[in-house]
Amino acid sequence: MTARFSAPALAALLLCASTLGPAHALESRAPAAILLAQAAPAAEPAPRAADALLDEVWRTVRDRFYDPKMHGLDWEAARERHRPAMLAAASDEGRARVVNAMLDELKASHTRLYTQAEPAYYQLLDIFQGAVGREALRRMFPNGEIQYPGIGADTREDERGRAFVKGVIPGTPAGAAGLLVGDEIVSAGGAPFRPVASFRGKAGESVTLQVRREAGGPLIELPVLPEALRPGPMFLKGLEEGARVIEADGARVAYVRVWSYAGQQYQRSLERLISSGPLKDADALVWDLRDGWGGAQPWYLDLFNMRGVTLRTTDREGRSGIVNPKWRKPAAMLTNEGTRSGKEILAHGFKRQGIGELVGTRTTGAVLAGTAFLMGDDSLLVVAVNDVDVDGERLEGAGVTPTVEVPFDSRYAAGRDPQLDRAVEILSRARRG
């Protein structure tokens, strides 16, 4: 499989699924690299600051967007259409909504403004801390660690403004509290739920969540202990602690969900799990690439190369290791509308090479390469700066269609997962022949 874009852009392909908080229903799109501007200036009066932010975003997109024709959009007219609403916006989140409405007119993925009210903002800084630079990070995080207050629940807002749990990352407070996929979080600490603000200054303190588990059902109170979450370690721990073997009709099906692929450490962890870890003796594998961050490399598919050579090394103490591990047993991949960017490239190759069934729903079709810039108010702007095609095919706006369609509206699912269930059924049936 050949991906036609530069190596730096490929290395930085990302995607964000539903890491947005309830205050942001706009589609999340992730960057390829982060470049920082100067430290934020002294606070300005709100209208002046809003005007300056709109102009800064507009200029940056004008100068860096991959299509100099701006997809046929009159970019200057777009700015002026949104200026009155920008000047009237009363908060950072309100200004971001106006900016994102303007950016949406470009109809391009990887083009979005993030604010410090969103977990995605901190996750992006963590992913690209090398590009951000120590000076900027020290200014923003004096203790030297990129972190944010939260519980590890991946939430999204529906069209009615209700916050639903789309994913629970294993090893986080959300899982320990008993939150389930599909739960509606009605309030946190007696106030409307916000994925960051609800837990600011409350690390280690009990916060009561009011949750509705079924439509029209009663409210359930769940105490949760927020933490200062470090994104990279959280995603890696979630991958490793969530890996398990599912027993089904005499088959042992391994399951791994990759929450983020923005770094090779996640692929190395997967390889360890299936070659020498608890999944090595399983009969089949479910590779879950739903939602989360992309950043995956096409060569990760070499894990399924039947012709590849695998080495086992053993030292004099009897300690052994696997070099170039391969999975030579049945496999299936899970995708959904939150499978984006680098993960879509893997889905394309998995399907094209006939490695196994693609189960779930069509991927987003968000396959551009982007760069991010820190704005003067410390909001983070992502701009698509490279077009991308994969094996001569443009996935942007098209996505990858699964071989086994399993629709799944996760609202009020109470932890059920019909897409995973179907993949396990397919693999266990294949083992029976």
Look at residue 188 and tell me if it is in a domain. yes
Q: What is the pLDDT of residue 299?
A: 95
Look at residue 371 and tell me if it is in a domain. no
How does pLDDT run across 201-225, given as a tens digit for each residue?
999 999 999 999 999 999 999 999 9
Look at residue 191 and tell me if it is in a domain. yes
Look at residue 372 and tell me if it is in a domain. no
The reply to whether 311 and 249 lie within a common domain is yes
Q: Which residues pair with residue 211 across a beta bridge? A: 185, 220
Q: What is the CATH number of the domain that holds 197?
A: 2.30.42.10
Q: How far is CA 291 from CA 14, 15, 300, 303, 424, in A?
A: 11, 8, 18, 21, 19
Name the burial class of residue 258, with classes exposed (0-12), middle (13-18) and buried (19+) by CB atoms within 10 angstroms of its CB.
Answer: buried
Q: What is the pLDDT of residue 372?
A: 78
How many domains are contained in the chain? 3
Q: Which residues pair with residue 265 across a beta bridge? A: none
The reply to whether 264 and 183 lie within a common domain is no
Residues 6+ apart with CB under 8 A from 431: 250, 251, 283, 284, 330
Range of weakest confidence among 43-57, 83-97, 373-387, 389-403: 43-57
Residue 39 has pLDDT above 70, yes or no: no
Q: What is the pLDDT of residue 128?
A: 76
Q: What is the pLDDT of residue 31?
A: 35
The reply to whether 258 and 314 lie within a common domain is yes
pLDDT band at 45 (very low <50, low <70, confident <90, very high): low
How does pLDDT run across 166-181, given as a tens digit for each residue?
999 999 999 999 999 9
pLDDT band at 40 (very low <50, low <70, confident <90, very high): very low
Higher-pLDDT residue of 186, 18? 186
Name the burial class of residue 432, with classes exposed (0-12), middle (13-18) and buried (19+) by CB atoms within 10 angstroms of its CB.
Answer: exposed
Which of 194, 229, 264 finishes a domain?
A: 229
Arithmetic mean of pLDDT, 265-278: 96
Residues 200, 183 contacting (CB under 8 angstroms)? no
Q: What is the CATH number of the domain that holds 428?
A: 3.90.226.10
The reply to whether 291 and 410 lie within a common domain is yes
Residues 279, 285 contacting (CB under 8 angstroms)? yes
Q: What is the pLDDT of residue 370?
A: 83
Q: What is the pLDDT of residue 359?
A: 98
The reply to whether 241 and 304 lie within a common domain is yes
How does pLDDT run across 129-165, given as a tens digit for each residue?
776 678 888 899 999 899 999 999 999 999 999 999 9
**Structural domain of residue 29, as residue ranges?**
7-140
Q: What is the pLDDT of residue 76?
A: 98
How many Å apart are CA 314 and CA 383, to the nearest integer? 48
**Exposure on the CB side of residue 418, measured as CA atoms within 13 A:** 12
Q: What is the pLDDT of residue 13?
A: 53
246: region left, alpha or beta (phi > 0 left; psi from -120 to 50 alpha) = beta
Residues of the chain with pLDDT > 90, as a percent, come to 76
Look at residue 376 and tell me if it is in a domain. no
Q: How far is CA 405 from CA 359, 360, 380, 400, in A?
A: 6, 5, 35, 11
Give the position of tokens 């739920």.
Answer: 193
Instruction: Kindly compute the dihedral angle of the four CA atoms of residues 59, 62, 64, 66, in this order, to the nearest 10 degrees.
Output: 160
Q: Torsions phi, psi of 153, nearest 5?
A: -100, 125
Q: What is the pLDDT of residue 130?
A: 72
Chain centroid, CA 203 distance in Å: 23
Residues 75, 62 contacting (CB under 8 angstroms)? yes
Residue 343 has pLDDT above 70, yes or no: yes
